[in-house]
Amino acid sequence: MTQAVLLDTSLPACQLGEGIHWDEHSLSLWWVDIQRKIIHRYELAKKHHQSWTVSKPVSFVFPRLDGQILIGLADGVYEFDPATGDEFPIALLDLPHDHRLNDGKMDTAGRLWVGTINTSAEPLETAALYLLEGDHLQEVEGGYTNANGKAWSADGQLMFHADTGRDTIWAYDYNLEDGSLANKRVFAKTVNGSPDGLEADDEGRLYAAIFGGSRVDILSMRGEIVGKVDLAAPNVTSCCLGGLDRRTLFITTAFDGMSDEERRSAPLSGQIFQFELHR
């Protein structure tokens, strides 16, 4: 059985759920609803849900030990204080019209990589991949319509990047000491949907949320599909491993852009799902 199930039927559906992240310190899940500008937190053991509304579309969230939260808003990276609702800019981008920050992910050394997306109806390849360096976002690679999910192999020597507009997952040699990339090549091409959020485990598997494909693909480090997780929602957006033993795959979905008829046929769109992995 490869069907994911709902995490909690009481959780609100997300218009554009994204950026799911497991915080091992608080044993909590964090994710965002980009379009509704909402940050969500769910304490797994207590089944306790909290949310905060921010000023702009929000694409990723990383809680810190000091209680502050690192978030990606439409125009840059901010520090968010959940107690007061204050937003403190860290690194801003002067982006063209119809562009915003998209998926963000940290490598094992704590470096933050973010992408941008061109959200226009006929997007040009004007989005890019960035690395947070101090108080600015340094463009590393341009030429994207949607620079999306990122992940790293267990040894930190490979970085993966989802190029949603080209239905491609790229692989790079990764220097964990300085965060530099080399030897870009195609890792995998997707069919029946486009790659969105990525996650990697410590046993040589990559998990790719497939937007428009109602599934998460599981790939080997050679780019071969070795399994899949099916969902009762077409637009699968991000995934992360979590739980006490990191054997639960948590998955976000979205109903953004779906017609009323499409939503009636897939009423669980926008919900958070989970799937227990067997290793």
Two tokens, residue 250: 């948590």
Question: Which residues are marked as active site?
Answer: 196
Cα separation of 221 and 10, whole Å? 37
Cα separation of 135 and 3, whole Å? 43
User: Element (H or E) spanning 260, and its range?
Assistant: helix 260-265
Tokens 């915080």 sit on residue = 23
Q: Which residues pair with 266 in a beta bridge?
A: none
Q: Determine contact, residues 193/226, Cβ cutoff 8 Å.
A: no
Cα separation of 158 and 170, whole Å? 10
Cα dist. 21→98, 197, 238 in Å? 26, 11, 9
Cα 57 from chain centroid (whole Å)? 14
Q: Which residues pair with 105 in a beta bridge?
A: 113
Two tokens, residue 186: 């195609």
Q: Determine contact, residues 240/23, Cβ cutoff 8 Å.
A: no
CA neighbor of 208 nearest in space, from 186, 244, 238 = 238
